[in-house]
């Protein structure tokens, strides 16, 4: 079994990862972690510097999450992609062919509690595999 889990370094993403591992651990799944960093909107050196710092931070978060998975006794593959998160996650899912795609739900206010975030909603509509949206 292969489970692809979206991880953006947030507490909700870590909660989704931990819950997915708890749910599926007995099946000894391969965990595929993916995080996506959006490209800067323009090519100024300030934007490039911010992008580099953000990418480094996301890379560190991804490595930390991957280490946590290994500590649970599971195999892990970690992907750091650059681009539109919605499209990059769907593309990675098409390439890796997971049995299920797990994403944490964002938000927290009254309106946010009524709708999915744009990434999770997009994945539900466009991914070729089942999508599990974790509420935490």
- Residue 106's pLDDT is 67
Write the CA distances from 88 to 21, 119, 122, integer angstroms.
23, 11, 11
**Mind listing the domains of the chain with CATH numbers?**
2-134 (3.40.50.620)
Give this prediction's pTM.
0.87
- Which pLDDT tens digit goes with each residue over 31-74? 999 999 987 766 565 667 788 888 999 999 999 999 999 999 99
Interatomic CA distance for residues 26 and 127, integer angstroms:
25
Interatomic CA distance for residues 5 and 131, integer angstroms:
10
Strands (E), 1-136: 2-6, 30-37, 76-82, 100-104, 131-134
Nearest to 34 by CA among 121, 112, 115, 123: 123
106 vs 98: which has the higher pLDDT: 98
């Amino acid at each position: 079994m292969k489970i692809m889990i979206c991880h953006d370094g947030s507490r909700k993403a870590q909660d989704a990862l931990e819950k997915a591992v708890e749910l599926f651990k007995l099946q000894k799944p391969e965990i595929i972690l993916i995080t996506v960093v959006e490209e800067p909107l323009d090519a100024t050196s300030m934007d490039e510097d911010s992008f580099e710092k953000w990418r480094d931070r996301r890379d560190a978060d991804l490595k930390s999450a991957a280490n946590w998975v290994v500590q649970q006794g599971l195999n892990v593959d970690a992907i750091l992609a650059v681009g539109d998160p919605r499209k990059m996650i769907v593309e990675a899912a098409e390439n890796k062919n997971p049995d299920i795609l797990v994403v944490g739900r964002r938000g927290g206010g009254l309106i946010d509690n009524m709708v999915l975030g744009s990434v999770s909603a997009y994945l539900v509509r466009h991914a070729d595999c089942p999508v599990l949206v974790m509420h935490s």
